[in-house]
Amino acid sequence: MNASNKKIRVLLTKSQLDGHDRGVRYLARKLREAGIEVIFTRYRSPGEVVNSALQEDVDVIGISFSVGGHTVISAGVIESLQEKGMGNIPLIIGGIIPGDDMSELLRMGVSGVFGPGARAGEVIEHIRTHVAKDL
């Protein structure tokens, strides 16, 4: 398979302590329908997210938040990605993200923030735009 036929691989993950997964499961289905390969996991720490991304050779990491912790976890994932030489992998987050935190998350290196009401098509377009240059 040449680079132009390579499927985009996305790791979608959610905290093991967060049972609210309806939105991320809906997004996983929509991504698959759009021809994007999805790996879905649960995590306990930012390091587990990055280790999963490394093992699965993903192009994008998406984390869903419903119960907070988005700033701390995102910072930890970004730091761990940098440490492992994987800083080129975009991190997107979604879920219940207060508006005041969105600009801080983008400033710290999160590629995209998608709150309640974001359309799956927006996420798909964001992923394709940010990954296409690397394929």
Instruction: Tell me how far CA of residue 65 lies from CA of 4, 35, 72, 100, 117, in angstroms.
Output: 32, 24, 12, 15, 14
Tokens of 122: 């927006």
| Domains annotated on the chain, with CATH | 7-132 (3.40.50.280)
First and final C-alpha spacing in the chain: 12
The model's pLDDT over 55-78, given as tens digits with 9 standing for 90+, comes to 999 999 999 998 888 999 999 999
Taking alpha carbons only, the member of 62, 74, 3 closest to residue 28 is 62
Q: Largest Cα–Cα distance in the chain?
A: 43
The model's pLDDT over 2-48, given as tens digits with 9 standing for 90+, comes to 355 689 999 999 987 777 778 889 999 999 999 999 999 988 899 99
The model's pLDDT over 76-133, given as tens digits with 9 standing for 90+, comes to 999 999 999 999 999 999 999 998 899 999 999 999 999 888 999 999 999 999 886 5
pLDDT score of 51: 95
